[in-house]
Amino acid sequence: MRPMLRRMKTVAMAASLLAGLSLGACSSLRTHPIKHPSTALPPATNTPSARYIKSELDSHHDQSGFRLMTRSTNALLSRVSLADHAKHSIDLQYYIFNNDATGRLVAQRLLLAADRGVRIRMLIDDINVQGGIDMLDALNAHPNIQVRLFNPFNTRDPSFVAKAAQFLMDAHRLNRRMHNKSFIVDNNVAIVGGRNIGNAYFDARNDTNFRDLDLIAIGPVVKEASHAFDEYWNCDAAYPVTAYRGKHASHYDLAQLRVDLTREARKFAQSDYAQATLDELPYGPSADRPGAWFWGPAMLVADQPAKIETAKDDPELRIGPQIKAMTDQARQSVLLISPYFVPGDKDTRYLGSLAARGVTVEVLTNSLASTDEPAVHAGYSRYRRALLEGGVQLYELRPAAGAPQAATSGGKSSGVSLHAKAIVVDRQWVFIGSMNMDERSKLLNTEMGIIVDSPPLAKAVTRFFDTAAAPTNAYHVVLVGKDRPHAGQLQWQTMQDGKQKLYYHDPDTSVQRRLEVKLLKLLPIEGLL
């Protein structure tokens, strides 16, 4: 989900109004804030969770264990349960931490953990904290909670106009965001994947909900995740939430937040959503409960924080070469899952070269009807024909049945939208993380993920792909053969009410929506997508 990208279309129109407008600053940012470096605490050894994890690891030397979270309710309950069981530390790093029902539920559990003496470090990208800065500021008033903002804007809680103005004046810096996502507890267990913290990522919204993937991890890869967190936490781009001049939250503000969060958590626990979650997962999916694990050698890969400072591409700072080394090994198959898929000429040729040497290459991405980013879809559509001609198979997720995408809907998709980012090579190697397959993830944002050598995990992710790409859930995009009607045209194939249905333009979209994409294709914005 890319709220800044959604706004880019309106920034150009607003630019002429900005010259005479104030930046709307509540307070400005100190250029040299006082902050103290810190590192991850040693792994806990004296907790029930730690003893359980050690017993599992003892029979899997040098390997890491994983649980795949495909269900959104599972993903939320895991974070809540892990926070509830934390004894020493919680480190969390997110692109989005929304001030909504699920975000405040997680915040409430973090606050309870801090009350037990757990040290908590929260690192949140600043692009989306508008509306949540007061909550983060109040949490930071707790002696056991530290909050830092990554690459912040120069003013606290700026209006859209102020944020757009700063973005225009300092685009090189502010266009580079921390897209990483991790949740590390007691340095023994970590959640890494594609989900942010917010209602849409946990099936708690009434309109749009994302389909995503996370891994719960134990073993050596957790220490690697903690090391990556420390690098970001201590880097120059991470500012304490108190770096803004002016008034900050007091213990009174924290006390009021505590009351509010407790009341809201009680309401949430009594909701239909919470009851459905408990009915589905009565014993909880957290890492301190017995259950099956996927095992294998694993590597945490993370861009270096310095990636946002470089004027030119430096492959040594990013994870792209490590991902490519995995796909280069392909002999049989490559599955790519990316909600925002803009391969460019180079990667289009690369995927075609894999197909040319007999590798089955399949891609699952959003359809125009399901995407929340029409600008990204415009970029992807430029390469659709070349990908198909190169032998790549394309599947586009359908929105929820009966909820077609509205025209010019301001970026919001209807029903279900893909948000998972994963790669499976030869049903053996798996990547799951935050990285989309586009130029923004490659060159502008920082990203992270886990590469695992585990055929059972690969099988589970393949099952996720196959389910999402099934004819009832996705459109299979093909080129019509020369000897058939509509020869040479793109064709979208799907199943509806037990019958095959064919389209010759982006399905379940209005004329206005398709025209919007055609206009966006004319803009030179591919490097920003």
- Which residues are designated catalytic? 179, 181, 186, 419, 421, 426
Instruction: Count the neighbouring beta carbons within 10 Å of the beta carbon of residue 291.
Output: 11
Pairing relationship of beta strands 333-337 and 360-366 according to DSSP bridges: parallel
Q: Are 296 and 446 in contact (CB under 8 A)?
A: no
Instruction: Count the neighbouring beta carbons within 10 Å of the beta carbon of residue 333.
Output: 18
Q: Are 193 and 434 in contact (CB under 8 A)?
A: yes
Distance from C-alpha of 391 to C-alpha of 119, rounded to nearest angstrom: 51
Proportion of the chain in helix, strand, coil states, percent, rounded to 5:
40, 20, 40
Distance from C-alpha of 213 to C-alpha of 201, rounded to nearest angstrom: 10
Give the helix ranges, DSSP H, for 116-190.
133-140, 160-169, 171-174
The helix-helix angle for 133-140 and 251-269 (nearest 10°) equals 120
Q: In 3D, which of 329, 328, 332 has the Cα closest to residue 350?
A: 328
b or e along 193-221 (b: 16 or more beta carbons within 10 Å of the residue's beta carbon)?
bbbbbbbbbbbbbeebbbbbbbbbbbbbb
Query: Tokens 């539920």 sit at which residue?
Result: 105
3-state SS, residue 474: strand
3-state SS, residue 15: helix
3-state SS, residue 260: helix
Q: Could you tell me how many helices (H) and strands (E) the chain has, helices first?
A: 17, 21
Cα–Cα distance list, 162 to 192, 247, 260, 312, 384 (Å)? 33, 20, 29, 28, 37
H or E stretch at 74: helix 72-85
Cα–Cα distance list, 76 to 102, 105, 196, 278, 465 (Å)? 8, 10, 10, 11, 21
Cα–Cα distance list, 53 to 82, 121, 286, 350, 403 (Å)? 13, 23, 11, 41, 44
Kindly list the strands in the beta sheet with 214-218, ordered across the sheet, starting from the edge strand earlier in the chain: 238-240, 145-150, 119-125, 89-94, 182-185, 189-193, 214-218, 64-69, 294-296
* Two structure tokens written together for 69: 């979270």
